[in-house]
Amino acid sequence: MNQLMLRRPRRNRKSPATRGHIRETRLSVENLVYPLFLIEGEKQKIEVPSMPDCYRWSTDMALGEIEDCLKLGIHSFILFPAIDEALKDKEATYGYEEGNRYCETIRTIKERFPEACVITDVAMDPYSSDGHDGYVEDGEILNDRTLPILAKMSVAQAQAGADILGPSDMMDGRVGYMRQALDKEGYTNVGIMSYTAKYASAFYGPFRDALDSAPKAGDKKTYQMDPANKLEALIEADLDVEEGADYIMVKPALPYLDVIHLLKENYSTPVAAYNVSGEYAMLKAACLNGWLEFEKVMPEMLLSIKRAGADVIITYFAKDFAQIQKIRP
In the complex, minimum distance from the CB of residue 275 to ligand PBG, in angstroms, rounded to a whole number: 8
- Integer Cα distance of 301 and 133 in angstroms: 29
Q: Is residue 321 near ligand PBG by the rule CB under 6 A?
A: no
Of 88, 152, 220, 251, which is the active-site residue? 251
- Integer Cα distance of 164 and 121 in angstroms: 9
90 assigned to active site: no
Phi, then psi, of 273 in degrees rounded to 5: -135, 140
251 assigned to active site: yes
DSSP β-bridge partners for residue 274 = 314
Nearer to ligand PBG among residue 78 and residue 287 (C-beta): 78
- The correct pick among 33, 94, 120, 125 for binding ligand PBG (CB under 6 A) is 125
Q: Quick check: 74 and 32 in contact, CB under 8 A?
A: yes
Q: Is residue 272 near ligand PBG by the rule CB under 6 A?
A: no
In the complex, minimum distance from the CB of residue 274 to ligand PBG, in angstroms, rounded to a whole number: 6
Nearer to ligand PBG among residue 179 and residue 251 (C-beta): 251
Q: Is residue 260 near ligand PBG by the rule CB under 6 A?
A: no
Q: Is residue 307 near ligand PBG by the rule CB under 6 A?
A: no
Q: Is residue 164 near ligand PBG by the rule CB under 6 A?
A: no
Site string (104-123) toward ligand PBG, x via CB under 6 A = -----------------x-x
Q: Is residue 102 near ligand PBG by the rule CB under 6 A?
A: no
Q: Quick check: 194 and 168 in contact, CB under 8 A?
A: no
Residue 263 vs residues 112, 196, 245, 259: alpha-carbon distances, Å: 36, 10, 13, 6
In the complex, minimum distance from the CB of residue 213 to ligand PBG, in angstroms, rounded to a whole number: 6
- Integer Cα distance of 101 and 97 in angstroms: 9
Of 198, 220, 284, 306, which is the active-site residue? 198
Q: Is residue 207 near ligand PBG by the rule CB under 6 A?
A: yes
Q: Is residue 276 near ligand PBG by the rule CB under 6 A?
A: yes
Residues 124-145 as b or e (16 or more Cβ within 10 Å = b): bbbbbbbbbbbbbeeeebebee
The amino acid at 94: Y
DSSP β-bridge partners for residue 312 = 272
Neighbours of 44 (CB within 10 A): 16
- The correct pick among 208, 230, 261, 307 for binding ligand PBG (CB under 6 A) is 208
CA 275 remoteness from chain centre: 7
Q: Is residue 76 near ligand PBG by the rule CB under 6 A?
A: no
Interface contacts to ligand PBG, rule CB under 6 A: 121, 123, 125, 133, 168-169, 204, 207-208, 220, 276-277
Instruction: Point out the residues that are catalytic.
Output: 198, 251
